[in-house]
C-alpha cells in the first residue's frame, strides 16, 4: 500500500511537470478539486520554491521528471551513480555560489557609487552632521534623558528606507517599539544611537560599510552596497 501511494504521488507529480514542460512551466495551471490535488500541488510547489530560493531557474524539466520517476520506482536503477551525483551537485552549487557572489559584487559597485553621490550631496545640508566613520545624522528632536552605551539595551521606534524612499522596515507600521542590545545591530545603529539622549529623534544616513555591506538580509528589498536611512526615536534605556 505504501509503495502504491508513493508511486501515485510520483505519477501525479510527474504528470503535472510534463504538462508544465509542454506549456512552459511558468504558465502551468493547477487542477485542484480535492485534498489529494492540493497535497500533490504542494509537493511540486515546495520543491520548485526550494530550487528557486537557491537561484536555480534553468531546470531541464524532462530530465528532472525522469530522475524523479526513477527514484520513486524501486525496480529502476539510476543512470548516474550516487557518488557521481553528489560530486556533480556539489560542483554545481560551488559554481552557482561564485556566480552569485560576482553578480552581488557588480551590483554592489553600482549601488556604492550611487550611495556615495547621495551622501556627498546630503552633507551639503546645513543640518546634517558626519562622524569620523562616515555616519551622517540629522537631529529632528533633542531629548534631555541619558545617553546609552554600546552594552545597553534600548527601546526605540524607527523606520528604515532606501535612498529611493522605499520603506523596508518600520516599527511604527507594526504598532509597537522594539527592544534590543545596542551592540548586536549594524555598526551604524550602534554608533548612532549612542549619540542620542532618551527622548531624542534622529535621522541617520548609514553608508553600506556601516550597514549590511554586500550581504543584505535574504528576502529584503535592500540591495548589496545600499545606503540606509533610518528615522529613530529613542524611547528608553532598558535595565
Q: Which residues are catalytic?
A: 158, 168-169, 186, 212, 230
Number of neighbouring beta carbons within 10 Å of residue 200: 20
> d(Cα 8, Cα 149) in Å, to the nearest integer?
62
CB 202 within 8 A of CB 192: yes
CB 148 within 8 A of CB 234: yes
Place of cell 534553468: 58
The closest alpha carbon to 120, from 207, 231, 230, belongs to 207
Alpha-helical segments (H) within 82-125: 82-122
H or E stretch at 38:
helix 35-53
> d(Cα 138, Cα 230) in Å, to the nearest integer?
10
Strand partners, 202: 139, 232
Question: Residue 227: CB partners within 8 Å, gap ≥ 6?
Answer: 111, 115, 118, 119, 162, 163, 205, 206, 207, 208, 211
Amino acid at each position: 500500500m505504501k509503495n502504491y501511494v508513493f508511486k501515485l504521488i510520483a505519477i501525479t507529480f510527474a504528470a503535472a511537470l510534463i504538462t508544465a514542460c509542454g506549456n512552459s512551466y511558468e504558465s502551468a495551471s493547477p487542477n485542484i478539486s480535492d485534498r489529494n490535488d492540493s497535497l500533490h500541488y504542494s509537493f511540486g510547489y515546495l520543491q520548485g520554491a526550494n530550487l528557486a530560493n537557491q537561484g536555480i531557474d534553468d531546470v531541464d524539466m524532462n530530465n528532472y521528471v525522469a530522475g524523479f520517476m526513477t527514484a520513486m520506482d524501486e525496480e529502476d536503477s539510476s543512470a548516474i551513480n550516487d557518488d557521481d551525483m553528489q560530486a556533480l551537485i556539489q560542483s554545481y552549487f560551488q559554481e552557482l555560489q561564485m556566480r552569485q557572489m560576482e553578480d552581488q559584487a557588480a551590483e554592489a559597485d553600482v549601488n556604492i557609487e550611487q550611495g556615495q553621490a547621495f551622501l556627498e550631496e546630503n552633507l551639503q545640508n546645513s543640518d546634517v552632521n558626519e562622524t569620523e566613520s562616515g555616519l551622517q545624522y540629522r537631529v529632528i528632536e533633542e531629548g534631555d534623558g541619558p545617553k546609552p552605551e554600546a552594552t545597553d539595551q534600548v527601546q526605540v521606534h524607527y523606520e528604515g528606507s532606501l535612498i529611493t524612499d522605499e520603506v523596508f522596515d518600520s516599527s511604527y507600521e507594526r504598532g509597537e517599539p522594539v527592544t534590543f542590545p545596542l551592540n548586536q545591530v549594524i555598526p551604524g545603529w550602534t554608533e548612532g544611537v549612542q549619540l542620542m539622549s532618551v527622548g531624542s529623534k534622529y535621522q541617520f544616513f548609514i553608508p553600506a560599510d556601516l550597514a549590511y555591506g554586500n550581504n543584505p538580509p535574504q528576502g529584503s528589498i535592500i540591495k548589496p552596497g545600499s545606503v540606509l536611512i533610518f528615522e529613530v526615536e529613542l524611547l528608553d534605556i532598558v535595565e
